[in-house]
Chains A and B, each alone.
Chain A
Amino acid sequence: MVWGLVLFPLAVAAIAAALPSNRLRPWLLPVAGVGHAALSACVLARSLAVAAREAVGARPPESDAWLALDPPGRIVLLQISVLFLLCSFYTVGYLQYRQERSNRVFCVCMLTFLSVMSLVISSRQLGVMWVAIEFSTLVTAPLIFYNHTQRSIEATWKYLLVGSVGIAMALLGTFFLAYSSLHVGLESTLSYEELLRQAPQLSKPWLHAAFVLLLVGYGTKMGLAPMHTWKPDAYGEAPGVVGAMLAGGVTNCAFLAVLRVYHICSAAGENAYTSRLLLLMGLLSMATAGLFMVGQRDIKRMLAYSSVEHMGILVLGLGIGGATALFGTLFHVLTNGMTKGVLFLSVGNIHRAFASKSTDQVSGAMRRVPLSGALFLAGFLAITGSPPFGPFISEFSILNGAFNAGRFVIGGAFLLLLLIVFIGMGATVLHAAQGRPPEETGAPETRSAYRDGFLTGAPIVVFMLLVLMLGLYIPAPLNALLHDAVRFLEGKP
């Protein structure tokens, strides 16, 4: 069943590569999206049923399997499956505007990307996970390059080079981790379960070095400051839907990798060491994002910095630790991913409607593309943590966890940085969404015939409804999944 999650999108990708029709090919994406979502639903329902029957939902799966889902993996799986499903319908609408160019590479890469992300989530072997994450860099590069402009070449080059070097550091870190067990005379291994079992005996100096390298390596893929430099360029030049998949997919998969390493270190009793580094990276990322968001005129780059900020929040939550903060962190994976879907897709529409993504030209989006403009504004309120949306609940849990743990300075800094981001982002968003469109003020403008359509509008509405729902109430199965994952990470079956 888990294999199906990896192989099914790959099979559809093969069909997409063979299909000659440029018009029909994009429809394969929703086919894969629906199939993947159905498979995910089956896998998740079965794991919940098993958990309920045995009342040990936090038990890790049997260790001989190459692919299996652990509790945190289930949450990320749910997130990317829903994200891809909704984005796939949007992509069909988007590619209808791009009939002048072959979309074969685009479709094949999107589908392979889904398969690779499923592999990251379900791999039980840190080596396999590394291979899958590196591969996700490679299949997303052509997606960023889709527009073939000079600027997109530059963005792709930086993405590939920074990403590859970063991920190479993660490979070295993975080796160090394996060596930490070899050094104390244990049989060296890269299996996640084995390492968790051996954790208390692992050689501490090698484990520390491994953690730093892995945090830097996978942190590069997440886009944590100061390794975030590729992010504004890549998100700024990629089509909106690719931005959504990167900000909600790649980054969350990389976070899952960091989470697994954190879990091993935490099982080894090294929480004090990892927590310091995670808190530092988290606050630094949030501060960097806040700094560059104030006065940002490019709305897509602004979203990239927002992604840097939220990756910072995720590692900050890990660094705080404890049941409340971990619950908030895992929930934030979901809420942030969904809200990023709203933001990137609506900004993609606005970009198309104004033929520009700079606030010099973009203003009054609510008048020209009312649906996208309104959703953009609502998405902004959600991502900055305003009630009643999902991110409010997750960020509040993290904050609660910080205060419960007596970390008042961290909690205070967290609140302050959220406020700075709110102000910085708000100025740009309000200017773009409200005000009067250029045709009314007589300012020079670039016209475009784009107006909101069903395929490019409806998926964003669904995303927004999901974000709203997560803020108002968490369905019981989802709650069970989240609590399973927290128990798993805390090592209490």
Chain B
Amino acid sequence: MTSALNAILVIVLVMNLFALGTSRIQAAIRIVAGQGALLGVLPLLAHEHLHLAQIFIAVVTVAIKGLVIPAIMMRALRDAQIKREVEPLIGLLPSILLGAMATVFAILLAGQLPLAPQHAGALLVPASVATVLAGFILLTTRFKALNQVLGYLVLENGIFIFGMLLLEAMPLVVEMGVLLDLVVGIFVICIIVNHINRAFASLDTRRLVSLKE
């Protein structure tokens, strides 16, 4: 089980780098959606005893992260009529390198962390840290509103990976609540993105500078 789990996590880590390296927003949405859907399958692998509740959670997670959220974002993208992030704060290649450095750092860090013995072999903790960091890189170096939303989603995916360690502590209600928050959050954010686009004729958040001291 652990090897299958680790294989998926490696793919997730590679997807982080792809998301950092693409300038086409549509492609980035697809990558992040794929990452989310892949993570949705994890609960089935992380535990030997499968309950109906876990299968239910996995199905809902895959549906929401893989289908609903990308659909909402694609719609916002179509309304905004833009295709790519033209000039990020740092170039695409440097962001990939930064992402790779973050991954290495995460693996080194996880080696230092005091982990419970049953988690020492799995990649869960380093993958979680690396994905959270990748999310932060996306959030801070991109200026298009939709790309920043993608950064938030990657960040959330990273936290979701850490949640795999704690499946017993998370009641079904909480898991569903977190997913509901995510969907409603993306929905509200995309409405605001749409308004930004109409009011400023651009999705560039650098135009949002009228409020300051």
Contacts and interface: CB of A to CB of B under 8 A. Distances in A.
Interface in A162-217: 164-165, 168, 171-172, 175, 178-179, 182-183, 185, 187-190, 203, 205-206
A128 B173 contact: yes
A411 B127 CA distance: 45
Interface string A142-176: 10010010110111111011001100100110010
A466 to B, nearest CB: 32
A128 B210 contact: no
Q: What bracket does the count of chain B residues touching chain A fall in?
A: 35 or more
B159 A171 contact: yes
A135 B181 contact: yes
Nearest to A234: B211
A150 B196 CA distance: 8
A323 interface: no
B162 A131 contact: no
Contacts of B169: 127, 178, 182, 188-190
A141 B195 contact: no
B145 A175 contact: no
B52 interface: no
Contact of B166 (A141, A142, A175): A175
Contacts of A131: 174, 177-178, 180-181
A153 B188 contact: no
A138 interface: yes
B107 interface: no
B166 A182 contact: yes
Contact of A154 (B116, B139, B211): B211
B184 A206 contact: no
A148 B195 CA distance: 9
Contacts of B113: 205
B48 interface: no
A232 interface: yes
A135 B181 CA distance: 6
| Main SS at interface, chain A | helix
Nearest to B156: A168
Q: Give the interface centre of B165, B168, B192 by most chain A CB atoms within 10 Å.
A: B192
Contact of A175 (B155, B162, B168, B211): B162
Contact of A138 (B163, B170, B173, B185): B185
A292 B212 CA distance: 11
Nearest to A163: B185
Interface in A415-442: none
B170 A127 contact: yes
B139 A125 contact: no
Interface in B166-213: 166, 168-171, 173-174, 177-178, 180-181, 184-185, 188-189, 192, 195-196, 199-200, 205, 208-211, 213
B211 A232 contact: yes
A484 interface: no
B171 A175 contact: no
Most buried by A among B113, B181, B189, B209: B181
Given A127-B170, A150-B199, A161 B152 contact: yes
A153 B195 CA distance: 7
B171 A127 contact: yes
A379 interface: no
Of B113, B165, B211, most A-chain CB atoms within 10 Å = B211
Interface in B118-140: 132, 139
Interface centre among B162, B166, B168 (most CB of A within 10 A): B166
B114 to A, nearest CB: 6
Interface string A301-315: 000000000000000
A145 B210 CA distance: 15
A154 B155 contact: no
B193 to A, nearest CB: 8
A138 B180 CA distance: 11
Interface string A104-145: 000000000000000000000101101100110110011001
A395 interface: no
B159 A182 contact: no
B98 to A, nearest CB: 18
B114 A135 contact: no
Contacts of B139: 161, 165
A70 interface: no
A168 B155 contact: yes
Given A134-B185, A157-B196, A182-B116, A128 B166 contact: no
B115 interface: yes
Given A175-B166, A190-B169, A190-B170, A203 B114 contact: yes
B159 A150 contact: no
B49 to A, nearest CB: 16
Given A142-B188, A160-B192, A175 B213 contact: no
Contacts of B200: 150, 153
B192 A178 contact: no
Contacts of B152: 161, 164-165, 168
A252 to B, nearest CB: 20
Contacts of B192: 141, 145, 153, 156-157, 160
B103 interface: no
A205 B116 CA distance: 13
B148 interface: yes
Given A138-B188, A154-B208, A183-B115, A165 B170 contact: no
A424 B115 CA distance: 50
Contacts of A155: 211
Contacts of A158: 208, 211
B132 A172 contact: yes
B104 to A, nearest CB: 20
Contacts of A292: 213
B174 A128 contact: yes
9 contacts: A130-B174, A153-B208, A160-B192, A164-B189, A165-B155, A179-B165, A190-B171, A190-B174, A236-B211
Given A138-B188, A187-B168, 17 more contacts: A127-B169, A127-B178, A131-B177, A135-B180, A135-B184, A151-B210, A153-B200, A160-B188, A164-B152, A164-B185, A172-B132, A172-B162, A179-B116, A188-B168, A190-B170, A205-B113, A232-B211
